[in-house]
Amino acid sequence: MQAEGATAYADAARASDAVGFEREDAERTLSLTVSYNGGPFCGFARQPGKLTVQGELEQALSLVMRRPVEVVCSGRTDAGVHALGQVVSFNVSVKELESRSLYSLRRSLNALTHEDITVRTVEEREPGFSARFDAQWREYHYHICLDDTPPLFMRDFSWFVHADLDIPAMQQAARYLEGEHDFKSFCMAASAVGKPTCRNVHEISLSRETIMGEEVLTIKVVGNAFLHSMVRTIVGTLVMVGRGLRKPEWVSKVLEACDRTAAGENAPAAGLVFWKVQY
Amino acid sequence: MQAEGATAYADAARASDAVGFEREDAERTLSLTVSYNGGPFCGFARQPGKLTVQGELEQALSLVMRRPVEVVCSGRTDAGVHALGQVVSFNVSVKELESRSLYSLRRSLNALTHEDITVRTVEEREPGFSARFDAQWREYHYHICLDDTPPLFMRDFSWFVHADLDIPAMQQAARYLEGEHDFKSFCMAASAVGKPTCRNVHEISLSRETIMGEEVLTIKVVGNAFLHSMVRTIVGTLVMVGRGLRKPEWVSKVLEACDRTAAGENAPAAGLVFWKVQY
């Protein structure tokens, strides 16, 4: 499916500033919990002429609602990044809600969207709920394959580092990143210009798991909010420590530098899953 | 890669009855532990002009050894069935073993085979070892997605039954299949003609797991050996019970019938993983 349909709708909607229904009728807010395999998508955010998760969701919603629908997401994801529990919100009128059940809406959306998107839940929220602004914290999981041969079942969902990793050193390094810090060094440089770059990272924990028989290091990162490519830069930086290229203490210097070039490289998109949002 | 090369080699080898090196020099036996994503393959067994796991392995081994190599596997898998720990064995001469390390052999094989095959280990075994005849027991895992929406991360590795399953009833039904029985009802009819169909199933256990955030029922089946499509027929039969279409006791009648049409349908290939072989 192409995103152009939804974009055309959305443009029309922005032009009329009415998003398809009269403002006085805009009384209900719905949210979707959405999983996607990020592989085929040019990221979450709608882009004209490109396959995006937002484009797919908005096109499906617009078809079902017979009017342009725009969604707000809890966190944009880059091309190739997956999601287990992305949340999006949008408004509907009382009438629109009366004419269909949430269950049938979910079924329609799953029938209409790309096969790499699954709408897990459709819920009614408090009026005015925003998937973005009402989020208390967000959780990401990054998977690194620890086997000495390439992963098969986890191939599309992990980073094959192909090196022994000193996991205790990585965990020690991660401690420097927990808490409230200026994460400018961990933000894609162009995105950080003139914007606040302080964030509160509640937790970074590393655990070994066996997934489908393959050895995986899962790096769980929880925080109030995240900068552009922040989790992948955190992972790339921790892997520098894990490979013995840097000491754990180096990470505090990276933070202090407030300079993207001080940190490690972005870890590949495929290893990252936007796991969960707490409201 | 095509299998024709290996097949041509193999035919030549059979013709000369020498398999590429003099018999008196055939003193060593190697085994490979092989994982594969069964999706792209027309099964394990070599077939002229078709992409098969055996064809790929033999072609790569023949290229490395510069002579035709044929492998023996611990258990053939059908088209679409995956493997975590398939084991194959083949003979090499002392000279062939002296000229390369097992590590470099593994690396060459991983470079030469299809990307959906990973050679995990290369080991030297007792002379005359056979991956097929020396196997004590084999273990298969079958994954059923329990979520009420289609799986994403487990899509290629599970069966989306799309129904509530009574797991205790399935476990109860599985008890009838444990032990030594004539499993003719659970064998593809054409394969059972004129062959012994008694097998010893040591264990069938069901457990819920969360894999990459998706709810999965894993059915582990362990036995001395298996008939053609036996595990998938066992799973299809247990799912009939899980869906409430049959009582657990019905399974004992299916066994007694010694007739493939008495059992449930084959569960889809994608859910099955040939997990492990014990020697």
A9 is annotated as contributing to ligand binding: no
What average pLDDT does range A264-276 have in this prediction? 97
Question: What does the angle CA A242 – CA A245 – CA A246 come to, to the nearest 5 degrees?
Answer: 85
Label residue B98 exposed, middle or buried (CB < 10 Å: 0-12, 13-18, 19+). Answer: exposed
Cα separation, B50 vs A259, in Å, equals 54
- The 10s digit of each residue's pLDDT in A150-173 is 999 999 999 999 999 999 999 999
One-letter amino acid identity for B41? F
What average pLDDT does range A48-63 have in this prediction? 97
> Residue B6 in contact with residue B68, Cβ under 8 Å?
yes
Per the CB < 8 Å rule, is A152 touching B116? yes
Cα distance from A27 to chain B (closest Cα, Å)? 28
Structure ipTM over 0.85, yes or no: yes
Between B25 and A9, the higher pLDDT residue: B25
Is the confidence at residue A191, as pLDDT, over 80? no
> Alpha helix (H) ranges present in chain B?
4-16, 53-65, 94-98, 102-112, 167-175, 189-192, 230-242, 250-257
Is the confidence at residue A70, as pLDDT, over 70? yes
Between A26 and B49, the higher pLDDT residue: B49
What average pLDDT does range A131-145 have in this prediction? 97
Cα distance from B257 to chain A (closest Cα, Å)? 35
* Residue among A82, A110, A213 minimizing CB distance to B149: A110
Best A121, A212, A273 residue to mutate vs chain B (most B CBs within 10 Å): A212
Is the confidence at residue A20, as pLDDT, over 90? no
**Helix, strand, or coil here: A153?**
coil
Per the CB < 8 Å rule, is A37 touching B110? no
Q: Mind giving me the DSSP string for A201-248?
A: EEEEEEEEEEETTEEEEEEEEEES---TTHHHHHHHHHHHHHTTSS-T
For A33, name the nearest residue in chain B, comparing CA atoms only: B149
Instruction: Kindly report the backbone phi and psi dihedral angles of residue A4, in degrees, each rounded to the nearest multiple of 5, phi listed first.
Output: -60, -40
Which residue shows structure tokens 């457990």?
B207
Instruction: Kindly report the backbone phi and psi dihedral angles of residue B115, in degrees, each rounded to the nearest multiple of 5, phi listed first.
Output: -65, -15
> Residue A171 in contact with residue A218, Cβ under 8 Å?
no
Q: Mind giving me the DSSP string for B7-35?
A: HHHHHHHHHHTSTTS-GGG--EEEEEEEE
Structure tokens at A261: 């070039």
The predicted structure's pLDDT at residue A24? 54
* Residue among B119, B155, B211 minimizing CB distance to A149: B119
Q: What is the mean pLDDT of chain A?
A: 91
* Residue among A110, A119, A157 minimizing CB distance to B212: A157
What average pLDDT does range B155-177 have in this prediction? 97
CATH fold of B4-125, please?
Alpha-Beta Plaits (3.30.70)
Which residue shows structure tokens 């362990």?
B222
Question: What does the angle CA A77 – CA A82 – CA A88 come to, to the nearest 5 degrees?
Answer: 55
* Residue among A106, A149, A153 minimizing CB distance to B37: A153
Indicate which residue of A11, A25, A78, A259 is catalytic: A78
Between A27 and B83, the higher pLDDT residue: B83
Angle between helices A53-65 and A4-16 in degrees, nearest 10: 70
Indicate which residue of B11, B17, B25, B78 is catalytic: B78
> Residue A119 in contact with residue A55, Cβ under 8 Å?
no
The predicted structure's pLDDT at residue A12? 42
Instruction: Kindly report the backbone phi and psi dihedral angles of residue A125, in degrees, each rounded to the nearest multiple of 5, phi listed first.
Output: -115, 175
Q: Where are the domains of chain A?
A: 4-125, 137-278
The predicted structure's pLDDT at residue B225? 95
- A17 pLDDT tier (thresholds 50, 70, 90): very low
Per the CB < 8 Å rule, is B118 touching A150? yes
Which residue shows structure tokens 């922005």?
A14
- A14 pLDDT tier (thresholds 50, 70, 90): very low
Sign of CA dihedral B241, B245, B251, B252: positive
Q: How many CB atoms are located within 10 Å of the residue B221 CB? A: 25
Cα separation, A147 vs A91, in Å, equals 46
> Residue A183 in contact with residue A199, Cβ under 8 Å?
yes
HSE (CB half, 13 Å, CA atoms) of A240?
Answer: 20
Per the CB < 8 Å rule, is B212 touching A84? yes
- B12 pLDDT tier (thresholds 50, 70, 90): very low
Q: What is the mean pLDDT of chain B?
A: 91
The Cα diameter of chain A in Å comes to: 61
What average pLDDT does range A27-38 have in this prediction? 96
Cα distance from A258 to chain B (closest Cα, Å)? 34
Judging contacts by C-beta atoms under 8 Å, the chain B residues touching residue A116 are 152
Which class is domain B137-278?
Answer: alpha beta
Structure tokens at A41: 């998508």
Judging contacts by C-beta atoms under 8 Å, the chain B residues touching residue A120 are 147, 149
Per the CB < 8 Å rule, is A149 touching B120? yes
Best A105, A149, A211 residue to mutate vs chain B (most B CBs within 10 Å): A149
Instruction: Kindly report the backbone phi and psi dihedral angles of residue A61, in degrees, each rounded to the nearest multiple of 5, phi listed first.
Output: -65, -40
For B156, name the nearest residue in chain A, comparing CA atoms only: A153
Per the CB < 8 Å rule, is B213 touching A273? yes
B78 is catalytic: yes
Q: Which of the residue ranges B23-32, B55-64, B124-133 would you say has the lowest mean pLDDT?
A: B23-32
Q: Which of the residue ranges A2-16, A40-54, A127-141, B70-84 would you say has the lowest mean pLDDT?
A: A2-16
The predicted structure's pLDDT at residue B42? 97
* Chain A: residues touching B (Cβ < 8 Å): 35-37, 82, 84-85, 106, 110, 116, 118-120, 147, 149-153, 155, 157, 211-213, 273, 275
- The 10s digit of each residue's pLDDT in B206-264 is 999 999 999 999 999 999 999 999 999 999 999 999 999 999 999 999 999 999 999 99
- B25 pLDDT tier (thresholds 50, 70, 90): low
Is the confidence at residue A5, as pLDDT, over 90? no
The predicted structure's pLDDT at residue B189? 77
Sequence-distant (≥ 6) Cβ neighbours of residue B259 within 8 angstroms = B184, B185
* Chain B: residues touching A (Cβ < 8 Å): 35-37, 82, 84-85, 106, 110, 116, 118-120, 147, 149-153, 155, 157, 211-213, 273, 275
* Residue among B35, B150, B212 minimizing CB distance to A152: B35
B4-125 and B137-278, same CATH topology: yes
Q: Which of the residue ranges A236-245, B60-69, B120-129, B189-198 would you say has the lowest mean pLDDT?
A: B189-198
Judging contacts by C-beta atoms under 8 Å, the chain B residues touching residue A56 are none
Is the confidence at residue A2, as pLDDT, over 50? no
